[in-house]
Amino acid sequence: MRVAVVSDLHANLVALDAVLADAGDVDAVWHLGDVVGYGPDPDGVVARLAEIGATGVAGNHDRAATGALDIDWFNDDARAAIVWTQHRIAAATATWLAALPDTRTEAGILLVHGSPRDPTWEYILTAAIARASFEHLATPLGLYGHTHLPMAWTLRGTRVGSIFPDDGPFLALAGPDRVLVNPGSVGQPRDGDPRAGWLELDTDAGEARWHRVTYDIAAVQAEMRAAGLPIRLVDRLRVGL
């Protein structure tokens, strides 16, 4: 099965459509949450995911957008964007978001937004947190988002390692005992590359490949300005940080 794995779409429909065009004819699209928040088109992104039958999990922004998570936990810009999103989204969008589970297992692979230990909030940013995550990962492979950083953590015996997209043409999933992979972010990359990121997962070959796709960033920035979203959120799309 060939799967397009996407995460942290953040209401950026132009970026999502560029990713879906790049992915082409896949067997499934899995998303790892933060479908909305920050970006200008939450209804459009949810409608597209519903239309293509994507399955996935909730992120912290999705929970906040439907009022299930206290927005006091968010920084000023994120909070302003969430309040904007809450007032903007259609009832059908809120219903779709509220139905997303915290975790999901597809084809024996765990999908989470944050970490297996704390699916909505924890960021896997250090080897120590990756080690704790592996202790809560019951499947050989897990997919996570939330950090917006494309990379993988591996567990071999007791040793935790990290792998980045530049380390090789593809990621072999069968070598390590356990693997946690982040596809990167579709709608708001933060690794210094402003292009939209996604992960191609081939479950038969046991391989994964990270991809980056250019999209019309200026068009999305214009939409965000027109919507009155915070200028720092508009500017960061151009630099990918």
Q: In this structure, is the dihedral angle defined by the CA atoms of residues 132, 150, 57 and 143, taken in order, positive or negative?
A: negative
| CB-nearer residue toward Zn ion: 40 or 176 | 40
Buried b or exposed e, range 192-208, using 16+ CB within 10 angstroms: eebbbbbbbbebeebeb
| CB-nearer residue toward Zn ion: 176 or 189 | 189
The one-letter amino acid code at 141 reads L
191 is a contact residue toward Zn ion (CB under 5 A) = no
62 is a contact residue toward Zn ion (CB under 5 A) = no
CA dihedral 129, 132, 138, 143 (to 10 degrees): 0
The minimum distance between CB 140 and Zn ion, in angstroms, equals 25
Q: Binding string to Zn ion for residues 17 to 46, with x set by CB under 5 A, is what?
A: -----------------x------------
Tell me which residue has its CB nearest to Zn ion. Answer: 34
Strands 55-56 and 28-31, by their bridges, are parallel
* Sheet order of strands, 159-163 included: 103-106, 109-112, 141-143, 178-182, 151-156, 159-163
Choose which of 4, 8, 191, 233 interacts with Zn ion (CB under 5 A).
8
122 is a contact residue toward Zn ion (CB under 5 A) = no
User: Of the ranges 3-11, 88-96, 158-166, 200-208, which one interacts with Zn ion (CB under 5 A)?
Assistant: 3-11
Interface residue list for Zn ion (CB under 5 A)? 8, 34
